[in-house]
Structure 1
């Protein structure tokens, strides 16, 4: 359960816009990466509300959850689900801290698949994800978004993730939507709203 929720939380997912997407040219992708990477260097904190929709083959209805994401440079990340249940996952000091409706636990994240996923999500705010050697990155565009699609290289990661997409609105350099397709074919879509950049974040956001 922890593994499914964690992957659903950090990766983002369905490819809803595949049919409308066009591949970027080499010049376009280079300009996009340069712009995002440059502007991301100024981000010290990032906060956003999110709505996550998970589609699983064996369920008739999608699983919809809501919560808040908080990120502090260089590598501290918090996902706190508030509806319809309370569940928190915090990446901090190479640890995954979990609070499942009052039941607290921790997992060593160092050199594990979770650590790679955390690195990618944090990298989406500082621009470093484009140089992540764990993934092949392909770039696309449509009328509303620039899209970076990450495909795992390692067989270990491919056991869980088929691909991850980060959607950047045309007029901004921060992610507004994450789509993930798991190896099973299940998909997760995360949409961020009310994003705040470089606003103070209470220390309690990164503790259970």
Structure 2
């Protein structure tokens, strides 16, 4: 269960940066915003960023903050999502293999033999290519410009996703041309916020980052 929830959060941060040409957020229509994402996806080869994740528990009025780093490379469908503080957890997707490492234990899964991870791989590619904003079988989508930001509100349609969250807001900075914040609201009122920092698009990433052993 823990792995599946973490993977859902990973997927929802992987929306590509926007294409150039939209300089004023308030002037963009929903159709223009989605078209900009689609144009940008074709030139996205790699991505590296730091992230800060804040989990807000509604019943306990408590906050749990963790930090880490994410690497993505289009060639071979490679992804590394790594929590570094206050605990260590690493998820690596490399082609048709997945590795999860936590507390000294390493698990390796072949996606071809596991339905859940096949779906994860499919959704990852859908998100990275921007198709998540047009894949109506996965989400109901509302896109708007608000207070200098572009905001995509995603409501999941698939039952396996609704058990983890009821709504996701993706917040984009059009001037910097990237997604900067993901807000995930769960059915019980808990909220997870992921802020992306130090984003490097199309940076050179060593193959060893995605090694599975």
> Judging changes above 3 Å, is the alpha-carbon distance between structure 1 residues 85 and 108 closer, same or farther for their aligned structure 2 residues?
same
* Equivalent in the alignment of 1:55: 56
Matches of 1:188 and 1:115, distance apart in 2: 25
Q: When the two structures are superposed, what TM-score results if normalisation uses the length of structure 2?
A: 0.79
Matches of 1:120 and 1:144, distance apart in 2: 28
Aligned pairs, number: 196
- Give the secondary-structure state (helix, strand or coil) at the position aligned to 1:185: coil
**For residues 158-206 of structure 1, what are the alpha-carbon distances to aligned partners after superposition, in whole Å with 9 as ceiling and x for unaligned?**
1222122221102244321111112333211111111101111111221
Q: What are structure 1's unaligned runs of at least 5 residues?
A: 13-23
Q: Is this contact kept in 2: 1:152–1:158, CA < 8 A?
A: yes
RMSD between superposed Cα atoms in Å: 2.7
Q: Is this contact kept in 2: 1:77–1:122, CA < 8 A?
A: no
Matches of 2:199 and 2:70, distance apart in 1: 9
> Judging changes above 3 Å, is the alpha-carbon distance between structure 1 residues 121 and 192 closer, same or farther for their aligned structure 2 residues?
farther
* Equivalent in the alignment of 1:45: 46
> Judging changes above 3 Å, is the alpha-carbon distance between structure 1 residues 39 and 10 closer, same or farther for their aligned structure 2 residues?
closer
* Equivalent in the alignment of 1:144: 148
**For residues 29-52 of structure 1, what are the alpha-carbon distances to aligned partners after superposition, in whole Å with 9 as ceiling and x for unaligned?**
111111121022111001101001
Q: What are structure 2's unaligned runs of at least 5 residues?
A: 14-25
Matches of 1:57 and 1:113, distance apart in 2: 29
Structure 1 residue runs of 4+, over 6 Å off? none
Q: Is this contact kept in 2: 1:78–1:91, CA < 8 A?
A: yes
